[in-house]
Structure 1
């Protein structure tokens, strides 16, 4: 029995819910690649449906509009993008914890380059559809981690550093390898798909960042 918008109002069994989630995920995966290349306005519903191997009508069973697909893609990638920061824990050794965070961020840029580029594109455009998420989930997490870093500094476990500028610096350096991959390839004829270069990037970023926050013995 169809409900408003043509969607079924029959109770959904666990198996059916799993099927729905799998189909929604496939649509979001297809949309991510298109949005990261063409943006929201340069991507059509027909392109998303074709890429996801569903009909346009079927796509609208799972999503009310192209804009809803776009926002769900952004929410999912924001959750993935924040996962490395969530893993930075208070009881970590500060230097090791930050080094591990840098590695996880580079690995994210390596394994999710399209997600990183789409997130960058949304931010550059003023985040019209992601602003609320930035002001809530992102801000809450960053504020919590900034407070943790301030504690490390107060405890003498890190050199004095502004936590937000530290986090911004890590974001800028690690995401560069995904967002500006074409530029890196033009300059060096390589990129994060090369294991050696990826490890070299991690170690150099770690050295640059950690040398600025590591406690040094008095001269």
Structure 2
């Protein structure tokens, strides 16, 4: 339910990370990825020609409607999303449930990103933090994955709300095969090879005309 640290093999290929960096550094390709990430959240797709601000508006309406729908279905009063890390005990039960659930999805997204060879820092929608891409990826699934469990448990009397949310999400994410789905979606979004590339040792040498073989004497 959490990801605290990871190790990376010294001989592992950096091809996927380089592909992510190329897409991230070019404004046109970055915008394409951003649009694709938003479109993935709408089963019916989005209208053509929307500006990025208009797309964010559609996303805000989608999230608002989802909260209202689950609130009505479970009889849990919903006002607004509030999360203050330094004032946790004053949060409403549903806000605690959502925060606990989101943390689990962040952990899974972080694991998926690292395991598939990408960087958690090079976010496309979010930016400026070492976990920006984690937030990007988690947002693709939060409504589908976290809301049904969080509202269900917030509506259920009893103690250990956060533990019940984590346990429920563990089973829910396993049933959805969410980690496998995240990996496939990452490769689809970033155009990475499904098979982990096998690097040469000690790697190639960069050249503006194209990489050349390393580990040999070019004299």
TM-score of Structure 1 vs Structure 2, range by shorter chain: under 0.3
TM-score normalised per structure 1: 0.27
TM-score normalised per structure 2: 0.27
Normalized per residue, which structure has more helix?
1
